[in-house]
Amino acid sequence: MRLPNLTPVGIREFRIPGLRALGPGSVSSLLKIALDVAYWLLALITGVLVVIFFVSMFIPLENLNVTVSDDSGGKALPLTRPLLLFAVGAFSAYFGGFMLILRNLRMIFRTLTIGDPFQPGNVRRLRQIGLILAIVTGGVWATQGLVAARLANGVMESQGLGDLLTPGFSVMIVLVLAEVFREGARLRREAELTI
């Protein structure tokens, strides 16, 4: 059964000869390789940060300072164990969150490279990406506000609600894409049942 062409009048499909979007040897397979490299790089960085987190519980910190600065100057603060653990833990969570996003993207692109994107698992993966992106965005926003209020008062400014517009919009786009994939999977199921 062949579906009718539903392209609106006046809109033409943009194609580069010999360049496919789906399947083996396509653009999606090249992007999957790039995602694989980025994932393993982030996994390495996250692993190193977790090791640093546990090692930093035992290293001596006497007479160490950290300087928080902006364009007009800076402020030297003593480096305390809670401050060090907070910083390394925050970076570990940040990179770990993006590692989880890349893991889900790799699985989505795996389905693109086999030419079957509308699988129910991709809906779940896109929802997880949206949730993780929202948590990472909220965590960065809250952490920067905490650092600005407690550690770098007068040197660093906390983010305003306006700084959440672009990341919030990105989260909504990912969640809408999840619903598009859900609808595509439903239509594919219905088409398989009618054939």
- Please give the mean pLDDT across all residues of the chain: 80
**10 Å Cβ neighbour count for 126?**
22
For 81-114, the pLDDT digits (tens) are 777 888 888 889 999 999 999 999 999 999 888 8
Q: pLDDT-derived band of residue 140, with 50, 70 and 90 as boundaries?
A: confident
- The rounded distance, in Å, linking the Cα atoms of 165 and 174 is 14
pLDDT at 151: 66
pLDDT at 1: 47
| % residues pLDDT > 70 (the chain) | 77
For 35-88, the pLDDT digits (tens) are 999 999 999 999 999 999 898 888 877 777 776 666 666 667 677 777 788 888
Q: What are phi and psi of 80, to 5 degrees?
A: -100, 160
**What does the buried/exposed string (b/e) look like for 9-26 if buried means 16 or more CB atoms within 10 Å of the residue's CB?**
eeeeeeeeeeeeeeeeeb
* DSSP calls for 123-164: HHHHHHHHHHHHHHHHHHHHHHHHIIIIISBTTBPPP-GGGG
